[in-house]
Chain A
Amino acid sequence: MTEQAEPTGRPATPQMPPAGSRPRLLSSELAPAALVFAATAALILGLKLMIPGFGSLQQLTAIMVTAIFLVVASFGQGLVILTGGIDLSIGTVMGIGGMIVANLTRGSDAALLYALPIALLCCAGVGVINGLGVALARLPPFIMTLSSATAFFGVALGMTAGSSQQSVAPALQRFVAGHWAGVPLPILFIVVFALAAALFQNRSAAGRQIYAMGSNPRAAAIVGLPVAALTVTVYGLSGLCSGVSGILLAGYSSSATLDMGAALLMPTIAAVVIGGARVTGGAGLYVGTLAGALFLSALSTAITALSFSQGLRSVIQGAVIIVALLLQSRRADRTAS
Chain B
Amino acid sequence: MSERAGPLRALSANSALPALVLLVLMFAIYASRDPSALTSFGLGNLVNNALVLAVAAAGLTLVVLSGELDLSGSGVVAIANVVVATTSTGPIGSLGALAAALLVGALVGAVNGCLVTVFGLQSLAVTIGSLIVCQGVALMILGAPGGEVADAIASGVTGDVHGFPIAAIILIGLAAAWLALKNTRQGIALYAVGDDATAARLSGLDVRRTRFFAFTAAGVLYALAGYLFSAEIASGDPRVSDAFLLNMFASVAIGGTSLMGGRGGVIGALIGAGILTVMQKMLFALGVAEFYTNIFNGVIMVAAIFFGQIGALLLGLNRPRAA
Q: Nearest chain-B residue to A84 (Cβ)? A: B323
List the B side residues contacting A309 at CB < 8 Å.
139-140, 143
Q: Are A158 and B292 in contact (CB under 8 A)?
A: yes
CB-based contact A322/B197 at 8 Å: no
Interchain CB contact under 8 A, B132 and A266: yes
Does A139 lie within 8 Å of B306, measured CB to CB?
yes
A155 to B299, CA, bound (A): 12
Q: From residue A29, how far is it (CB to closest CB) to chain B in Å?
A: 19
- A315's partner among B133, B245, B246 (CB-CB below 8 A) is B133
Which of B17-25, B113-121, B162-170, B266-274 is near enough to bind chain A? B113-121
Q: Which of B130, B139, B261, B297 lies in contact with A151, CB distance below 8 A?
A: B297
Interface size of B as a range: 35 or more
Distance A138 CA – B318 CA, assembled complex (angstroms)? 13
**Pairwise interchain contact A314-B129, C-beta atoms closer than 8 A:** no
B302 touches A311 (CB 8 A): no
Q: Which residue of A is nearest B306, CB measured?
A: A137
A2 surroundings in chain B (CB, below 8 A): 122, 124
Q: Tell me the number of A-to-B contacts counted with CB atoms below 8 Å.
A: 169
Is B119 in contact with A7, judged by CB distance below 8 angstroms? Answer: no
Could you tell me if B121 and A143 are in contact, using CB atoms closer than 8 angstroms? Answer: no
| CB-defined contacts of B136 to chain A, threshold 8 Å | 310-318
Interface contact A143-B125, CB-CB below 8 Å: no
A14–B111 CA distance with the chains assembled, in angstroms: 30
Do A326 and B297 touch across chains, with their CB atoms under 8 A apart? no
**Residues in chain B near residue A139, CB distance under 8 A:** 302, 305-306, 309
In this assembly, does A108 line the interface, its C-beta being within 8 Å of a C-beta of chain B?
no
Please provide the chain A residues from 119 to 155 with a CB less than 8 Å away from any CB of chain B in the complex.
133, 137-140, 142-144, 146-155
Interface of A is mostly: helix
Q: A218 on the interface (CB 8 Å rule)? A: yes
B280: min CB distance to chain A, Å: 13
Q: Answer yes or no: A41 CB below 8 A from chain B CBs.
A: no
Q: How far is the CA of A4 from the CA of B245 in the complex (A)?
A: 22
Cα(A337)–Cα(B237), bound, Å: 47
Q: Is B175 an interface residue (CB 8 A)?
A: no
**Does A269 reach chain B (CB closer than 8 Å)?**
yes
Contact A279 B122 (CB under 8 A): yes
Please, how many angstroms separate the alpha-carbon atoms of A325 and B137 in the complex? Answer: 20
Known: A157-B291, A310-B139. A326 touches B124 (CB 8 A): no
Q: List residues of B (215-260) whose CB comes within 8 Å of A's CBs.
A: 238, 242-243, 245-246, 249, 253, 259-260
A5: CB under 8 A from chain B? yes
Distance of B236 from chain A, by nearest CB (Å): 13
A217 touches B323 (CB 8 A): yes
Give the shortest distance, in Å, between B290 (CB) and chain A (any CB).
9
- What is the bound-complex CA distance between A319 and B295, given in angstroms? 33
Cβ-defined contact, A5 with B197, below 8 A: yes
Asked whether any CB of chain B lies closer than 8 Å to the CB of A12, the reply is: yes
Bound CA–CA A241/B302 (angstroms): 24
A279/B246 contact (C-beta < 8 A), A144-B302, A154-B298 known: no
For B138, list chain A residues within 8 Å (CB). Answer: 311
Chain A residue contacts of B245, Cβ below 8 A:
146
CA distance A322 to B135 in the complex (A): 15
A1-38, CB under 8 A of B: which get 1 and which 0? Answer: 11111111000100000000000000000000000000
A294 within 8 A of B: no
Indicate if the CB atoms of A325 and B122 lie closer than 8 Å. Answer: yes
Q: Are A1 and B139 touching (Cβ within 8 A)?
A: no
8 A Cβ contacts from A231-285 to B: 262, 266, 269, 273, 279-280
A151 closest partner in B (C-beta): B298
| Structural contact, A4 and B321, CB atoms closer than 8 A | yes
The residue of chain B having its C-beta at the shortest distance from the C-beta of A155 within the complex is: B295
A139 to B305, alpha carbons, bound, how many Å? Answer: 7
Partner of A8, one of B120, B130, B259: B120
Q: How far is the CB of B199 from chain A (nearest CB, A)?
A: 11
Per the bound structure, the CA–CA distance linking A155 and B296 in Å amounts to: 10
Question: Are the C-beta atoms of A148 and B140 separated by less than 8 Å?
Answer: no
B190-222 residues with Cβ-Cβ distance < 8 A to A are 197-198, 201, 207
Per-position contact with B for A299-337: 1 when CB-CB < 8 Å, else 0? 000000000011111111111011001100100000000
Residue contact B121 to A1, C-beta cutoff 8 Å: no
* CB within 8 Å of A: which B269-316 residues: 289, 291-295, 297-299, 301-302, 305-306, 309
Contact of B125 with A154 in the complex, beta carbons under 8 Å: no
Contact of B69 with A by CB under 8 A: yes
Q: How far is the CA of A279 from the CA of B71 in the complex (A)?
A: 15
Using A143-B301, A147-B299 as known contacts, say yes or no to A157 and B294 having CB atoms under 8 A apart: yes
A140→B323 contact, CB < 8 A: no
Task: Tell me if B119 and A319 are in contact (CB < 8 A).
Answer: no
| Chain A residues, CB < 8 A from B302 | 133, 137, 139, 143-144, 147-148
Interchain CA distance A266-B297 in the complex, whole Å: 22
Closest partner residue, chain A, to B125 (CB atom): A279
Residue pair A326, B119 in contact (C-beta under 8 Å): yes
- Chain B residues with Cβ below 8 Å from A319 are 129, 133
Besides A5-B323, A151-B298, A315-B137, 4 other A-B contacts (C-beta < 8 A): A139-B305, A150-B301, A310-B136, A329-B120
- Residues on A lying within 8 angstroms of B by beta carbon are 1-8, 12, 86, 133, 137-140, 142-144, 146-155, 157-158, 216-219, 262, 266, 269, 273, 279-280, 309-319, 321-322, 325-326, 329
Shortest Cβ-Cβ A-B pairs, 10 listed: A314-B136, A154-B294, A151-B298, A311-B139, A318-B132, A318-B133, A311-B140, A315-B136, A321-B129, A154-B295
6 A-B pairs with C-beta separation under 8 A: A86-B125, A151-B299, A311-B136, A315-B137, A316-B136, A318-B129
**Which B residues are within 8 Å of any A CB, using their own CB?**
67, 69, 71, 115, 119-122, 124-126, 128-141, 143, 197-198, 201, 207, 238, 242-243, 245-246, 249, 253, 259-261, 289, 291-295, 297-299, 301-302, 305-306, 309, 321-323
